[in-house]
A and B are shown apart, each in its own frame.
Chain A
Amino acid sequence: MTFTSAQLIALVGGGGLAGLAALITAIAVLRRDRNSDLNQRFDQTKALSDYIDERVDERVQAAVEAALKPYIEKVEALEKREMSTKSILYAYFTRLFGWDEGGRNGSVPVPSDSELRTLGIDLAAFEMAEKQLPPVHLFIADDTETPTQQNGTPA
C-alpha cells in the first residue's frame, strides 16, 4: 500500500492536529490548579491523612506491643522449660544406658523428685500407684484356666 504525497500530508496533518488535541486533554488532566478549591482540599486532606497515618501507626504499634507482651513472655518461658525438659531426659537416659551396660546392678535409676516436678509429673500419682497397684494379673495370659467350649460357654 503506497501513499501519494498529498495523502501523506493529509494523514500526517490530521494526525498532528489530533495529537495536539490529545495534548490539550492530557495537560488539562495533569495540570495542578493551585487556586482550585478542590486542589486545596486535596492538599489539605493529604497532609491531614499523612499526619493521622503517622499517629495511628504509633498508637497501633504501642497497643499491639502491650497486648502481646504477656504472650511473648509465656512463649519465652515455654522455650526455656523445653530446654530443661530435654536436658533432664538426656541425663536420665544417659544414666539408664549406663545402668544397662554396667550389668543392671541395683535398682532402675529414677529421675529425682525435683526433676520429676520440672517435667510436670505429679509425684502423688506414683505414691497412689504404690499403694493401689493396677490389676496386672487380669492382663497376663494364663493357660491353666478352665477350658472353654468352642461356642464360649463353660463346660
Chain B
Amino acid sequence: MRALVKGPSHARGVLGPLSTAWGLVLWLFWRSIWAPGSIPPEERKWAVPLKRFALPLYDVVLVFGGLFAVESGVPALTRIIQDPLADILGYAFTVVAVVCLAGIAFPKLWVYEMIAKLVIVFFMGVYLFALIVTPDSGQRDFISAIVVLSLILPGFRLWIIGTEARDRRLLRAITTQGDL
C-alpha cells in the first residue's frame, strides 16, 4: 500500500549514497516515515500524527525508560529478582526499544518492530504484575493503571502492523493473479 519512496538521483545506487555522510543521511531520510510520499494520501489524517509523531516519541521515551531502569533501578523488579538480572533486563529493554524506534522510523523493518513491540509488551506485563504482587500493592494501583495505559499504544501499533501486513498480502495476491 505504501507508495514507493525513492530518493533523488544523488541518493540512489548501491555504494554511491553511502560514500558520504550527507549521502547516507539522504539515503536514510528517503526510506524513513518522514519522507514525502511514505504515507498514502487517504491515510494521512490519522497516520501522519501517529506514525510521524506519537509512535516515534513513544519509542524514544521507551529508550530513555530503559536507560533510566539501568541507571536508577526498578524497585518493583528488584523486590522479586536480583539486581544484576534487573540491570540485564533494563539493557534488554533499551535494545528492544531502539529496535522499535528503528521499526517505526523505517517502515521496511516492520517485522522487527512487530517482534520488538511484542517483547516490550512482555516486559511491561512483567513489570505490571511485579507491581501487583508486591506487598505494598495497595499503594501501587495508580502506577499499575499508568502501565496499562502505556500498553495501549503498542497494542494499537501491533493492530496496525497486522492490518498493513494483511493489505500487503492481498495486494501481492491481486498483482500476481493479475499477471496470469
By a CB distance below 8 angstroms, the chain A residues around B80 are: 4, 6-7, 10
A77: Cβ under 8 A from any B Cβ:
no
B interface residues, how many (CB within 8 angstroms): 41
- A49 to B161 CA separation, bound complex (whole angstroms): 29
Which of B118, B127, B163 has a CB less than 8 Å from the CB of A18? B118
By a CB distance below 8 angstroms, the chain B residues around A56 are: 180
Q: Taking the nearest CB of chain B, how far is it from the CB of A51, in angstroms?
A: 11
Pairwise interchain contact B133-A9, C-beta atoms closer than 8 A: yes
Pick from B123, B129, B132, B180 the residue with the most CB of A within 10 Å. B129
Pairwise interchain contact B121-A17, C-beta atoms closer than 8 A: yes
By a CB distance below 8 angstroms, the chain A residues around B170 are: 38-39, 41-42
Pairwise interchain contact A21-B121, C-beta atoms closer than 8 A: yes
Pairwise interchain contact A14-B126, C-beta atoms closer than 8 A: yes
- A13 to B170 CA separation, bound complex (whole angstroms): 35
By a CB distance below 8 angstroms, the chain A residues around B21 are: none
By a CB distance below 8 angstroms, the chain B residues around A14 are: 121-129
Pairwise interchain contact B124-A17, C-beta atoms closer than 8 A: yes
Pairwise interchain contact A29-B180, C-beta atoms closer than 8 A: no
Q: Taking the nearest CB of chain A, how far is it from the CB of B135, in angstroms?
A: 10
- A72 to B174 CA separation, bound complex (whole angstroms): 40
- 5 nearest interchain CB pairs? A28-B162, A14-B125, A13-B129, A17-B125, A14-B126
Contacts from B to A (Cβ < 8 Å): 1, 79-81, 114, 117-119, 121-130, 132-134, 151, 154-155, 158-163, 165-167, 169-171, 173-174, 177-178, 180
